[in-house]
A and B are shown apart, each in its own frame.
Chain A
Amino acid sequence: MKKRFISFLETVVTLAIVLVLLQTMTEDILVLSGASWTIRRVFLFTGFGFDLFFTMEFLIRSWNALYRRSFRQYITRENGWVDFAASIPLLIFTSGPALFSLLSGAVFAGSGALIGLLKVVKAVRMARVLRLLRLLKIFKRIRFADSVMVQRHTVRIVTTAASTLIFSVTIIGTVFALTDYPGTENAWMIDQSASIASLQERPDWAAGPDNAEVWGKSRPSVMMLKDNDWTLYARNTDNYFAEYFGPGDYAVRQAGSYTLWFDLKPSLVSQSKLNLTVFLSTMAVVLLIMVTYSPHFAITVSDPVNVMIRGLKEKSYNLEVSIPIEYPDDDIFRLGAAYNDEYLPLKERNNSEDAGGGALDISLDDISDLLET
């Protein structure tokens, strides 16, 4: 009963992993496609739900491991580090703040250094890439090879390759996000800073709706400009903003008596592109290793070993190890050649002597159908 319950829970976790991977990918696709905030908001909730679920899973597994005094084994050998990296940091830095921002209606607002804030936001969003680590957990649970050795080696290689890719992207992406490098996204941020600076230095440039319209259209990152509560310029209608923009999609800044709404979506799109690139690259690496390396390992390592094991264990098993012409010098095939050339002939002779009178060891039953043509 207990085993069935645990098995049921493991199935639920596996299903949740599949769903969260689909959720992560769909969320990024929605950002790229410019989907409405109503739809994206649903994914924000589900993303938080999944992160909370996996955090609970990690805590329960950790507690269980501590209770069994095998926490170190859980973290190092049973992919506990994946459970940790793909749960708590995401809940604290990504989905948690996003949900808080949504519930409190908070936006990126204030009068501090805009670029610094945007860099931090971008760096925090990089953590979403860590969600892909869950792919490793589901991969470990798929039984894709007959041989335990093939399965273990392939899982080890996939884990190494995919986690290296994911962590590298996260760390390098964070470093790049926090440093200044010229690029499209930086130009967008610079445009926002320049907008604030221009209004602080020359408030008359946006004085009145006509001037504000001209000024606003020359600043692609500006969504809306207000002088106190008077809207001087709006790139789109209020309904459009309500439909397509949510907290996190824009930033509000003060410049003297003016209030500026900046569009942050290009940064989101850029991040989603990177996430999708990493996600698809990781999937491609995993699939390629499964499709190409796993059979290669089976052919060049485990299959010859299994043939030799059967030959050593079973008296009547006398099939030779097939030695590919490409790898005759591989250690395993040198062993296979020795098995073919030395062991099997000796075994055959030994069996023949044990059986007694090889040439005469035929009964009438063996040849009863010989003359039937």
Chain B
Amino acid sequence: MSPNEVTDLVKATLLIRPSVQFFAPGGQNSGGGRNLLLISPTFAGKVASEAGKTLSFMPYAVVKAGVNSALSFQDNPYMESTARLAAVFSHRCRNMKPGMKVDRGAESSDKSWFNVARKNYKFYGFDLDMLIELHGIAAENGW
């Protein structure tokens, strides 16, 4: 796959990821809390199945990866790499402030976020190795 195709695949996975919300008990107004941060494999399987039917124009593997991105990597070590990447990027996007001025004496935005995410990888169910790699890339590029 070309880099552009990989990029589009990750973007599509990110787009599908919120679909979990629509199948959650109570829908979008289910309230906050840690319970909705990660979902169980059984629930993910059901959501993927229903979403696959609704999004029949998309490959099922992409839909499944999007839904699985809400799983914990620690409990599901065989989840798709696009799902793992989508989970990380989704959280990153929540805290991202484009054009943010980095103060003197502070680390760059991405480097800081990936390092903090490394400390919280169990809490969010991230793939630690992937975070280490992303942190290294951010550090090398000054992001």
Residues of A within 8 A of B (CB): 298-299, 302-304, 306-307, 310, 316, 318-322, 340-341, 344-345, 348-349, 352-362, 366-367, 370-371, 373
Contact = CB atoms under 8 A, between A and B. Distances in A.
A357 B35 CA distance: 7
Interface string B47-60: 00000000000000
A298 B104 contact: yes
Interface of B: 4, 7-8, 11-12, 14-15, 17-18, 20-21, 24, 30-38, 69-70, 87, 90-91, 93-95, 97, 102-109, 111-113, 115-117, 119-120, 123-124
A355 B87 contact: no
A319 B106 contact: yes
A340 B70 contact: no
Contact of B32 (A298, A307, A355): A355
A371 B70 contact: no
A62 B78 CA distance: 80
Contacts of B117: 348
Given A320-B116, A345-B119, A358 B105 contact: no
B33 A356 contact: yes
B19 to A, nearest CB: 10
In the complex, the 8 A-B pairs of residues with the closest C-beta atoms, listed nearest first = A356-B32, A303-B105, A357-B36, A345-B119, A319-B106, A320-B112, A320-B107, A360-B21
Contacts of A318: 95, 112-113, 116
B106 A360 contact: no
B120 A349 contact: yes
A366 B93 contact: yes
Contacts of A366: 93
Contacts of B30: 357
Contact of B20 (A345, A353, A356, A360): A360
B119 A357 contact: no
Contacts of B15: 367, 370-371
A302 B104 CA distance: 10
Most chain B CB neighbours (cut-off 10 Å) among A307, A355, A358: A358
Nearest to B71: A359
Contacts of B7: 373
B51 to A, nearest CB: 14
Given A356-B32, A358-B91, A341 B119 contact: yes
Nearest to A344: B116
Contacts of B4: 373
Nearest to B12: A371
Given A318-B95, A322-B105, A356-B36, A362 B11 contact: no
A132 B109 CA distance: 47
Nearest to A342: B119
Contacts of A359: 17, 20, 36-38, 69-70, 87, 90-91, 124
A319 B102 contact: yes
B70 A360 contact: yes
A37 B117 CA distance: 77
18 contacts: A298-B104, A302-B105, A307-B106, A321-B107, A340-B116, A345-B119, A348-B95, A348-B117, A349-B120, A353-B32, A357-B30, A359-B36, A359-B124, A360-B18, A367-B14, A367-B15, A367-B18, A370-B14
Contacts of A360: 18, 20-21, 24, 36, 70
A316 B95 contact: yes
Contact of A307 (B12, B105, B120): B105
B103 A354 contact: no
A29 to B, nearest CB: 41
A306 B105 contact: yes
Given A310-B103, A359-B36, A319 B109 contact: yes
B104 A299 contact: yes
A344 B14 CA distance: 25
A50 B120 CA distance: 66
Contacts of A373: 4, 7-8, 11
B99 to A, nearest CB: 14
B103 A303 contact: yes
